[in-house]
Chains A and B, each alone.
Chain A
Amino acid sequence: MMRDPRMRVVLLAGGALVTAVVVLAILIVGFGARLDAPTISLAAVAAALVYALGQLYAMVWALSRPDQVAQVGQAAGSFTQAELRDEKRRLLRAIKELEFDFGMGKLSKGDFDTVIATYRLRAIEVMRALEGGATLHPELAKLLAERDLARNTPPVVEMPVETNAAPEASARPRGPLDDTTRICGGCSGTNEADARFCKFCGVPMKKLDGTSVAPVQTPATGEIGGAP
């Protein structure tokens, strides 16, 4: 009886509605009641009862199922991937906002350049940590290498503490880390499922949807942010 939850809701609501109509019919035809507010509300009472009983039954049914290990109870602080993705989203949005604020004239050119350089670098770093070096687009890898060479040291960027665990995650061979990832048809870079543009070559992902962008499913057993 493993029904779709949505189906279950529809069934319950439908059952309650049918009950209401049936009870109303019985009251009017069987007991000779008038079709007034109390009678209608009595039908509603019956519908609510059926709904409540249905939900109680669903609860009992859920408890009678065989058990399996739930995806809960992760140790505190081990939320690398989710946290990294948040950080990435935050940085990208920050860059966008900075550009907007600069366009609105709230920042001087000098301030804008200093602040945005820091954020760009951090965004690149976070993306690298997310994807692992292996999935970096060759162009970007070259660019980063040049930058590193120019400074003669790897870019010193204040990284979030939690990202320490990221290299472990990225040590896996190039593979999907999320629930679903999409490969860009243009450059074969790995992007998030909900990406609208490829982050390596900038080609809009939506337009390629269904043609060259193939969703890649992950096994459902993986816990959020690492091995179980």
Chain B
Amino acid sequence: MSIALAAMTSLLSSLAPPLSAVPTGALSIATLGTATILVLFVLSLGTVALGAIGAHRRSERLIEGAVQGTYASFGLAAFASSLIIYAFLSGDYSIQYVQHTSDAAMPLFYKITAFWGGLDGSLLFWVLLHTLFGSLAVRANRMRHRELIPHVVAVLATITCFFVGLLLFIKDPFSQFLLEVPTQGKGLNPLLQNLYMIIHPPSLYLGYVSLAVPYAFGMAALFTGQVDAAWQRSVRRWVLFSWMFLTFGLILGGLWAYEELGWGGYWAWDPVENAGLLPWFTATAFLHSVMIQERRGMMKAWNLVLIIISFLLTIVGTFMTRSGVVQSVHAFGSDPVLAWTFGGFMLVIVLVSFGLLIWRLPLLRSRGELESVMSREFAFLVNNWLFLICAIFVLTATMWPTFTEWRMILAERYPDWMAWQDPGERVVIGPPFFNQYMRPLGLALLLLTGIGPLLAWRKTSTASLVRQFAGPLAFGVGCTVLPWQLGIDSPWGLACFGLCGFTFWTIVQEFYRGIALRRKQRPQNVLEALISLVLRARRRYGGYIVHLGVVLMFLGWAGNAYKLEKKVQLRPGEEYTLGAYTIRHEGLHATEDWQKEMITADLSVLKGGEVKDVLRPARWWYYQLPDQPTTEVSRYMTPGEDVYVSMQEVDMTSGWTQLSLYINPLVNWIWIGMAVMLAGALVCAGTRKSEGAVDDA
């Protein structure tokens, strides 16, 4: 309390300086912020101790203290975050982080979001979200799962401790300039001053950070030995929300790359993108396998493994992004101290989690057994293996260049030991390598998406197999043959179209038969039957809607096989024809605002001699970073394809404009697919009350 009072007095004494915008003296926002982080660190340590001792002594008092400690740590994190936002808004450039990531000319909105624009602030943002989710999860479950709560609190507070420790000892966002306080900020990287970038990182963060909650519940279940389905009921919804945020963040990241970077694509298997994808794979696997445990009491240990790995991968992802061990366009830069700290933390997680798991293995025996290979359980099992293979492959391929680099360093340092082998060079693994392996894996998963729903739980009769598969197979074959007849010859593209058709028809058939069955049971019209069907079995039909989104996304990816691209130089008045479209250069114009200079080209898009749209790609030079011009893409969107133009070089005197032209077929279905997926996930999440009714019905 005395520390808190000190904090209060220091805030009161700091009230006056902020009004004059540049705080000086010992009690500044920076000092207060650092002090808050210190208090938060001590509080988290105390919460860990209270939770652990409270559980051990069965002391209601200590446990309640630990629970309140969790809430209080959110309060302190919110206070520290509000301080740094205040520093941004008032332009307190005595704080290094504020000076590095903002300037006075930035719009208000970007000033606020600069909070998570850099490394130090993003760690504080992490702590804020983590404590928020921790508080929400504890509040929601403390009555239902009393016996798990002290352990959950202790695990969550340990994670808070780690991240607050990072803030306190390595990356203090409130650290000040000791000598000369600059009067101007450096400004946020212009690439990050974009609407997607405001939503995309927090969305990924929400997914990342919220995975700590299921992990904490899993660990608590292992600690207490209560490894029945109870812990999962608390976390299933969390994982679903994490999954939604991860999906949203990943695809928004793709959309950002597509609109902002100007290379005509949306996914380049960049290490940081992969870092977001890894926990997505395992979370998706968990969402499927948890159904087997719920229905059959099987795969208890496996589900815990998936939760542990998902959480671990979020830490691996953070490590990859922030330590500089991998080279990437959007890594935060190299930092060996951070790398070792994260490495140590990951090691502790692995040892403790899997140690506990092995200790509790006798309790995790399976209740049921597979009755038939032709069952949905088995399809889920294969699905789980494939997702895990995807995760392992992507992780290995992402880290491989780093491994080769380490080998080189070792060979340099210990030439005698390593003489037996050729150290080689730093290997670069590019998108083609990933695509080569991920394409078949993705298509196999799409196939399973189609097959799974056709199989019944437990056992599918051979006779009904024919009845189930006939329609989808016929439609799938049709979807392969038709594009082939239309002159499309890429085998991968054709396979993808066929599988999309197959899976699509499965979903339609499931809905159709479900509605028919329901109408047979009670008099309802089609719409009523559809709604009641979805509401009665939210998770089943919500899942099908998610699958429909997956099909649409695959359709978009299939279009990638028929992409056209060309780099051209045009002068005003000239034309270039690419595919069915003609691009005509109408002229250039230069403009400027208070932040940047802009050169914009006007390009008409013609199809069949008719002007469809006028595209305006541009180059922007920010005054803050004149040597890093940004590329502003312009595109003409249709359901069938995108005409996508970015400007590479421009010469205002002669009018020569170097343009990259792309025709990306079907690409917009990816974004539509995402929307459908999220809608389906929302149906799955549903409301607790009605779900309880279905469960018990």
Contact = CB atoms under 8 A, between A and B. Distances in A.
Contact of A67 (B18, B59, B460): B59
Given A55-B75, A74-B224, A194-B692, A105 B8 contact: no
A37 B79 contact: no
Given A38-B86, A108-B464, A103 B517 contact: yes
A18 to B, nearest CB: 16
Nearest to A66: B61
B78 interface: yes
Interface in B47-104: 50, 54-56, 58-65, 67-69, 71-72, 74-76, 78-79, 81-83, 85-86, 89-90
A14 interface: no
A217 interface: no
Interface in B221-237: 224-226, 228-230
Given A87-B297, A106-B461, A72 B695 contact: no
Contact of A38 (B7, B89, B294): B89
A76 to B, nearest CB: 3
Contact of B89 (A5, A41, A111): A41
B693 A111 contact: no
A224 interface: yes
B213 interface: no
A51 B367 CA distance: 47
A198 to B, nearest CB: 13
A45 B695 CA distance: 44
B1 A106 contact: no
A196 interface: yes
B486 interface: no
Report which residue of A54, A57, A111, A224 has the largest number of chain B beta carbons within 10 angstroms of its beta carbon: A111
A55 B464 contact: no
A93 B74 CA distance: 39
Contacts of B63: 70, 72
Given A59-B68, A87-B297, A73 B58 contact: yes
Given A38-B86, A79-B226, A196 B696 contact: yes
B18 A42 contact: yes
Nearest to B50: A63
Given A41-B82, A104-B514, A56 B75 contact: yes
Nearest to B71: A55
Nearest to A86: B229
B325 to A, nearest CB: 35
A140 interface: no
B54 A70 contact: yes
A107 B459 contact: yes
Contacts, number: 209
A89 interface: yes
B233 to A, nearest CB: 9
Interface in B12-30: 15-16, 18-19, 21
A71 B297 contact: no
A94 B291 CA distance: 12
Nearest to B56: A73
Given A38-B86, A94-B457, A98-B458, A71 B146 contact: yes
A107 B461 contact: yes
Contact of A90 (B297, B455, B697): B297
Contacts of B71: 55, 58-59
A23 to B, nearest CB: 9
Contacts of B350: none
A96 B455 CA distance: 16
Contact residues of B: prevailing secondary structure: helix
A73 B225 contact: no
A143 B61 CA distance: 51
B150 A48 contact: no
Contacts of B464: 105-108
Given A73-B55, A93-B695, A52 B467 contact: no
Interface string A192-213: 1011100000000000000000
B471 to A, nearest CB: 12
A45 B33 CA distance: 11
Contacts of B83: 45
Interface string B439-478: 0000000000000001111111101100110000000000
A146 interface: no
B65 A59 contact: yes
B64 A65 contact: yes
B90 A105 contact: no
Contact of B11 (A49, A59, A69): A49
Interface in B497-541: 510, 513-514, 517, 520, 537
Contacts of A47: 82
A52 B363 contact: no
B151 to A, nearest CB: 8
Contact of B72 (A52, A66, A96): A52
A45 B86 contact: yes
A186 to B, nearest CB: 19
B35 to A, nearest CB: 12
B1 A60 contact: yes
Interface in A79-113: 79, 82-83, 86-87, 89-90, 93-94, 96-98, 100-101, 103-108, 110-111
Nearest to A39: B19
Nearest to A32: B19
B150 A62 contact: no
Contacts of A48: 75, 78-79, 81-82
A212 to B, nearest CB: 20
Contacts of A31: 15-16, 19
Report which residue of A70, A97, A110 has the largest number of chain B beta carbons within 10 angstroms of its beta carbon: A70
Nearest to B36: A52
Contacts of A138: none
A184 to B, nearest CB: 15
A22 interface: no
A107 B376 CA distance: 12
Contacts of B697: 96, 196
A97 B457 CA distance: 8
A60 B65 CA distance: 7
Contact of B61 (A33, A65, A76): A65
A72 B7 contact: no
Given A60-B1, A74-B147, A107 B58 contact: no
B373 interface: no
Contacts of B224: 72-74, 76
A221 interface: no
Nearest to B461: A108
A72 B55 contact: yes
A219 interface: no
Nearest to A49: B79
A117 interface: no
Given A76-B225, A111-B459, A68 B8 contact: no
A30 B517 CA distance: 72
Contacts of B688: none
Nearest to A195: B696
A53 interface: yes
22 contacts: A48-B81, A55-B75, A56-B72, A62-B61, A66-B61, A67-B59, A71-B146, A74-B224, A74-B225, A75-B225, A76-B225, A76-B226, A77-B363, A89-B695, A103-B520, A105-B464, A107-B459, A107-B461, A111-B459, A115-B371, A160-B367, A224-B147
Given A31-B19, A62-B61, 19 more contacts: A45-B11, A53-B8, A55-B72, A65-B64, A69-B60, A70-B63, A70-B146, A72-B55, A72-B147, A73-B56, A73-B147, A76-B363, A77-B225, A77-B363, A93-B695, A106-B464, A107-B461, A160-B297, A194-B692
4 nearest CB pairs, A to B: A76-B225, A52-B75, A55-B72, A59-B68
